[in-house]
Amino acid sequence: MKKIFLLAVMATLSLHFPGSAQCPEALMRYSDRYPAAEAQDLYKLVFQDLYGPGHLISDSATSARYIADEVANMGNTDAFPLYEYTLCDSHFVRVNLALVRSGVLPLDKFVSSLLRSTEGLPAPDGRFVLSHSDAFKSAYHPHYRIVRRDIFENEILPLLSAAGTPAGRHAGRPQNVILIIGDGMGVPQVYASVVAQRANRSAFLRFPVSGFSRTYSRNRYRTDSSAGGTALTTGHKVDNYHVNWGPEAQRYNTIFDDAQRQDMSTGFVVTSSVLDATPAATYGHVPYRKMFDTLSLQMAQCGHSVMMGGGYKYFLPQNRKDGLAPLDTLATRGYTVLRTLDDARAFQGDRMVALLYDGDPLTEPARGDMLRPAAMKAIEMLQRNPQGFALMIEGSQIDWACHNNDSAYLRAELADFELMLHAVLDFAERDGHTLVVVTADHETGGVTLPDGNIEQGVNEVRFLWGDHTGCMVPVFAYGPGAQTFSGIQENTDIPAKIRKLMKL
């Protein structure tokens, strides 16, 4: 019965668009791809995909040529037109997306065509000039050439994002952002991890977009983690040792502050004390990063929904110069304070502080599998908010291993980081609306890899010294808007791009 309806569809198309009869087997693939669809629903699927709601095209004769060509060339990966610069652009993208979902049109070819088609060449009225094959230009001149910028950004990219396809997840506006920082993680550290994972199993190889970040601070060629963290969360260069604190005592807002103002949920997970420089850059404002009494009070008063790491002792009155009890402030503000990872994973509330160690967390492998489950617990909690979330995750001790010039320690921390990355990327792939950005605040150790063995996953690691360097660090991105993070950029550009993409 379904095939009969499909034949009726093709007959109808042939009456209106003669070219459509040239590809019956391609249309038949709709039936094969949607075996559970009722015949009438299948009819609607093909009909609506090819016509579009409301018949958005004004010139029916031209439209007939366009749709006939679209159907006849479903398997042609060289020309995927976006057509005239009216709302029909959005309609024809819907057609192409339907063909992608049906398996007729290769997704990577469609997306690469879209990217080629929006080269940003100047045209009147803020439009983009399209780029298509000479044959297509010849056949459809002058209609093929232009699509308005606002239609591409507001109609086409959201359609790609909503398509539920891997490439679609790299277009449009993200609902969530996960900023992952490998403290002290430069290019050699990343490549050491790639080699150690062997057989191309490294999570770093899953990112479709990569670039570099320049890490210098306001007053030094070599940044420290507080200035580096501030740059990544606020978009401002500050002096070393300052946390979100300007040269004239300005208190800079973070992307997490901005997210909270839009009723989004926020949080962080680290393998250091929760008062260390990088996590402090998500909530604190101090002129010196070691002001732990002040930072603990600021953390207790911040708007994060989940905070996980070490540093319990700094919240106890007997360990503080001011004798205050930030734990009481947390309780008053509705937080549950937990001391074990098992308790944190079992928690079902909305606001949690997990202080899993008195001081800093243990090193790997003694720490065990903490970062991955902690990160996934944070995501589980934050994603309950329909307004979206912003989360920072830090592999804190990559830096410490490099300060110690300890290659075994570094290898263990990178392996732990990889486990977390895979889990986060798996979530982002399922979700489709989450931007994941991975970078570092700086490189540590001046790491080089003079030799190794790819097959055995072995690196010869050497260190220049035991402090930070001024080298650029890598940037990796996945998800909606990922393409904006390619190339060489300032570290301050990263939060600026996140703000723009998420309209913070």
Q: 51-84: per-residue pLDDT in tens?
A: 443 332 333 334 344 444 444 443 333 333 333 2
Same domain, yes or no, for 157 and 182? Answer: no
Asked if residue 348 is part of any domain, the answer here is yes
| 191: in domain | yes
337, 327 contact by CB (below 8 A): yes
Residue pLDDT, tens place only, 154-176: 544 555 454 444 444 455 679 99
- The predicted pLDDT at position 189 comes to 98
| Residues 162 and 180 both lie in one domain | no
For the ranges 137-141, 142-146, 297-301, 384-388, which has the lowest average pLDDT? 142-146
pLDDT of the residue at 23: 35
Tell me whether residue 420 is in a domain.
yes
What confidence category does residue 327 fall into, taking pLDDT thresholds of 50, 70 and 90? very high
Q: Are residues 135 and 182 in the same domain?
A: no
Identify the pLDDT of residue 173: 79
Residues 156 and 182 in one domain: no
Residues 67 and 128 in one domain: yes
In-domain check, residue 222: yes
Tokens of 248: 């004239």
Count of domains forming the chain = 2
User: 166, 189, 209: which is the final residue of a domain?
Assistant: 166
Dump pLDDT digits (tens) for 95-114. 555 555 555 555 555 555 55
Query: Residue range 117-133: average pLDDT?
Result: 37
pLDDT at residue 109 in the model = 56
The model's pTM is: 0.71
The predicted-structure confidence for 442-458, as pLDDT tens digits, reads as follows: 999 999 999 999 999 99
3-state SS, residue 83: coil
**What is the number of other CB atoms lying within 10 angstroms of the CB of residue 147?**
28
Question: So what's the pLDDT on residue 208?
Answer: 86
Q: Residue 451 belongs to what domain range?
A: 176-502
pLDDT for position 199 = 84
pLDDT category of residue 187 using cuts at 50, 70 and 90: very high
Stronger pLDDT, 128 or 163, i.e. the higher one: 163
Q: Is residue 138 part of a domain?
A: yes
pLDDT band at 262 (very low <50, low <70, confident <90, very high): very high
Asked if residue 151 and residue 200 are part of one domain, the reply reads no
Asked if 251 and 142 sit in the same domain, the reply is: no
Main-chain dihedrals φ then ψ at residue 461, nearest 5 degrees: -105, 130
Q: Are residues 155 and 222 in the same domain?
A: no
The verdict on 219 and 134 lying in the same domain is no
Residue 45 in any domain: the answer is yes
Helix 88-102, helix 60-72: angle, nearest 10: 20
The arithmetic mean of pLDDT across residues 472-487, rounded, is 92
- Rounded to an integer, the average pLDDT of 15-44 is 38
pLDDT of residue 194: 97
**Residue 171 included in any domain:** no
Using CB atoms within 10 Å of the CB of residue 496, give its burial: 0 to 12 exposed, 13 to 18 middle, 19+ buried. Answer: middle
Q: Is residue 320 part of a domain?
A: yes
Given 144, 166, 188, which residue is the final one in a domain? Answer: 166
Among 136, 166, 196, the domain boundary falls at 166
**What is the secondary structure of 223-292 as a DSSP string?**
--HHHHHHHHHHS----TT-BSB-TTS-BPPPHHHHHHHTT-EEEEEEEEETTSHHHHTTT--BSSTT-H
Question: Is residue 119 scored above 80 in pLDDT?
Answer: no
The Cα–Cα gap between 281 and 484 comes to 23
Element (H, E) at 447: none
For residues 193 and 94, membership in a common domain is answered with no
The answer to whether residues 170 and 497 touch, using CB atoms and an 8 Å cutoff, is no
Q: Are residues 153 and 290 in the same domain?
A: no
| CATH number of the domain where residue 216 is located | 3.40.720.10
Q: Are residues 74 and 200 in the same domain?
A: no
